[in-house]
Chain A
Amino acid sequence: MVSSSRSEINHTSTPGQQLRRRALRHWGLMIGSALLGLIVLIALFAPFIAPHDPYAQDLTLRYLRVAFMGGTWEHPLGTDHLGRDYLSRLLYGARISLTIGLVAALISGTIGTILGVTAGYFGGRVDTVVMFIITVRLSMPVVLVALAVVALFGGSLTVVVLVLGFLLWDQFAVVMRTSTQQIRSQDYVTSARALGCSTTRIIMTEIMPNVFNNMIVVITLEMAHAIILEAALSFLGLGVQPPLPSWGLMIAEGKDMLFFEPFLITIPGLALFILIFAINMLGDGVRDVTAPENRN
């Protein structure tokens, strides 16, 4: 666009400063990171903030309502079907849900990035093979395969995280492959090659730093994806196992009383919604800020 190219002329600031300025002006990014930061803090300090032991049950105190809806301030968000403090479970649940998202995204990120960068950098036959692997992966029905695996190997946190990690790498591979292809053909990479730098060195020092932005974007996407999928698996009874309070599992447990105590599903549902919302905002923000030419 005419306008933006001209407007850059006047800026004499460094790219880093420009980035920071754009980031600070991007309300989505700011809201996203603030919310996510808050949730991370909650997760980290759950043992200090939680008013009760999230696993302590009291069968005589079941389904206490939210404090301002007729409950007590002893249990501000009420209690669940086993009389456990809902607020405490929610706070601890942040840990589980974040862990699931983060670890799954890291596993899939590692697999996908290795595949994608390899394919993009070497091209040719390597690329063909990787593309084939990606197609195979994409053609496998994720939910179905995840369910089958969890059903076979039992639904522990480890299994769920591993399954999701091994199923969600496709976006990483696709995006990393494209980004690497683009960067590979750039002059500075060509010159590094001409200078005789080793392949590993080129990939680590020239390619990786430049695909990092895209990676952050995909990580956020896949984190959100993993968390949502875990909730779906939990709903179908094949997610993480109780008494772990993942938000997905809390929704799944709360759904039994959907018609009678809707707060049981609304509270963790809202928490999950905010988490996903924050992650998506962050991802969109990073994309907008780091790649202004792609800004919609």
Chain B
Amino acid sequence: MNSLLSVRNLRVEIPVGAGLLKPVRGISLDLNKGETLCIVGESGCGKSLTSLALMGLLPKVARCSGDRLSFGGQDLLGLTERQMARLRGRAISMVFQEPMTSLNPAYTIGDQLIEGMIRHDGVSRAKARDRAIFLLEKVGITAAASRLSQFPHQLSGGLRQRVMIAMSLMCGPDLIIADEPTTALDVTIQAKILRMMKDLQAELGMAMVFITHDLGVVARIADRIAVMYAGIFVETGTARQIFDTPTHPYTKGLLSCLPVPGKTKLGARLGAVPGVVPALIGGVQGCGFASRCPLRQAACDIEPELSERGDGHSCRCVHDTPTLRKAEWATA
């Protein structure tokens, strides 16, 4: 395979007082150039830690391991912090969830935009400024030049997120990891930002890992989707496959929470997945979703493998595909 990002069996473990917390329990993925992968899941399922693990930005206490974590053919797991830092912001960049707090309040946005480029590309301030203005305009900020001397607190949340996105593009990265970039924003602005990101991605030919809990967002942007639950992927496939033929009970549950224009009747009840994500201390016995699953049975005590359900569509469940496709979620 000649994919840009290739991950095999990535695990994150955090020692806590009472034992070992395993928020990411072995995920694998491949991402090609220019492709968008959405990782979907409830909060607490490990998706944010996955993104941090990819960036090498895990908290110090966390331990990261895996069979493979390669980017552009380079093994990231073997890199020193120094080498990793050279990669961050240049080849891989990241957009965070909280635009309000992700910018340093003490410096102008201009300063924060250009510092990474000056470090990585060794360009002059003037040149970096030009690039910053160019990108600010790209992300739809008017009067970009004058914005450079403004401080974060003088900008609205939407503008700040645009700045963050521009910042991630400064060095023309091959991969952007966006961790819930629109969650904190108004719905109207969400839509604009998503469209813009999609456009930019196409224009600049980047790959993107997009992390969200919002399937509505996923529908707008994803090429491929990985549904994450309790630290592992329970279903992966193309956007079409996931939306059209959801297979895993959890995916189906998530989708039933989503109103579909034209399909969901006005006034009809939306579904909800009952129960909570299990605690991840000391690992999970059996299928992590079993306690919430309508199709639960004895075999669920053994954790199933991710199995092929046709044309790159995989699902992690003991049940066979027809059973799964047939099953309906009882709306709560």
**Direct contact between A and B judged by beta carbons closer than 8 A:** yes
Chain B interface residue count, CB cutoff 8 Å, equals 13
In the complex, are the beta carbons of B59 and A6 less than 8 A apart? no
- The size bracket of the interface on A is under 10
In the complex, are the beta carbons of A10 and B279 less than 8 A apart? yes
Total A-B contacts with CB atoms under 8 angstroms apart: 29
CA distance in complex: A2, B44 (Å) = 9
CA distance in complex: A2, B21 (Å) = 10
In the complex, are the beta carbons of B17 and A6 less than 8 A apart? no
In the assembled complex, B103 has its CB within 8 A of some CB on chain A: no
A7: which B residues are within 8 A, CB to CB? Answer: 16-18, 21, 281
**A contact face: mostly helix, strand, loop, or mixed:** helix
A270 to chain B, nearest CB (A): 37
In the assembled complex, B57 has its CB within 8 A of some CB on chain A: no
CA distance in complex: A10, B23 (Å) = 15
The residues in B between 1 and 30 inclusive whose CB is less than 8 angstroms from any CB of A are: 14, 16-18, 21, 23
Mark contacts of A2-16 with chain B using CB atoms, 8 A cut-off: 1 yes-contact digit, 0 otherwise.
111011011000000
CA distance in complex: A6, B21 (Å) = 8
A26 to chain B, nearest CB (A): 14
In the assembled complex, B49 has its CB within 8 A of some CB on chain A: yes
A22 to chain B, nearest CB (A): 11
Mark contacts of B28-65 with chain A using CB atoms, 8 A cut-off: 1 yes-contact digit, 0 otherwise.
00000000000000001000010000000001010000
Across the interface, name the chain A residue whose C-beta is closest to B21: A6
CA distance in complex: A1, B61 (Å) = 11
B8 to chain A, nearest CB (A): 24
In the assembled complex, B280 has its CB within 8 A of some CB on chain A: yes
CA distance in complex: A158, B14 (Å) = 57
A296 to chain B, nearest CB (A): 16
CA distance in complex: A161, B23 (Å) = 56
A6: which B residues are within 8 A, CB to CB? Answer: 14, 16, 21, 23, 44, 279-281
In the complex, are the beta carbons of B59 and A2 less than 8 A apart? yes
In the complex, are the beta carbons of A1 and B59 less than 8 A apart? yes
In the complex, are the beta carbons of A3 and B279 less than 8 A apart? no
CA distance in complex: A6, B280 (Å) = 8
B163 to chain A, nearest CB (A): 26
A1: which B residues are within 8 A, CB to CB? Answer: 59
Across the interface, name the chain A residue whose C-beta is closest to B281: A10
In the complex, are the beta carbons of B279 and A2 less than 8 A apart? no
Across the interface, name the chain A residue whose C-beta is closest to B17: A7
A2: which B residues are within 8 A, CB to CB? Answer: 14, 23, 49, 59
CA distance in complex: A6, B59 (Å) = 14
In the complex, are the beta carbons of B281 and A3 less than 8 A apart? no
A169 to chain B, nearest CB (A): 34
CA distance in complex: A3, B59 (Å) = 10
B14: which A residues are within 8 A, CB to CB? Answer: 2-3, 6
The residues in B between 133 and 160 inclusive whose CB is less than 8 angstroms from any CB of A are: none
CA distance in complex: A1, B14 (Å) = 12
A6 to chain B, nearest CB (A): 6
A3: which B residues are within 8 A, CB to CB? Answer: 14, 16, 21, 59, 61
CA distance in complex: A2, B49 (Å) = 9
CA distance in complex: A9, B21 (Å) = 11
B330 to chain A, nearest CB (A): 27
CA distance in complex: A35, B18 (Å) = 31
Across the interface, name the chain A residue whose C-beta is closest to B44: A6
Across the interface, name the chain B residue whose C-beta is closest to A11: B18
B43 to chain A, nearest CB (A): 11
CA distance in complex: A2, B58 (Å) = 11
Interface CB pairs A-B, < 8 A, 17 = A1-B59, A2-B14, A2-B49, A2-B59, A3-B14, A3-B21, A3-B59, A6-B14, A6-B16, A6-B23, A6-B280, A6-B281, A7-B16, A7-B17, A7-B18, A7-B281, A9-B281
Q: Which residues of B approach A to under 8 Å, CB–CB?
A: 14, 16-18, 21, 23, 44, 49, 59, 61, 279-281
- 14 further A-B contacts with Cβ under 8 Å, apart from A2-B59, A6-B21, A10-B18, are A2-B14, A2-B23, A2-B49, A3-B21, A3-B59, A6-B16, A6-B44, A6-B281, A7-B16, A7-B17, A7-B18, A7-B281, A9-B279, A10-B281
Instruction: Report, nearest first, the 10 A-B pairs whose CB atoms are least far apart.
Output: A7-B16, A9-B279, A3-B16, A3-B14, A6-B21, A10-B18, A10-B279, A7-B17, A10-B281, A7-B18
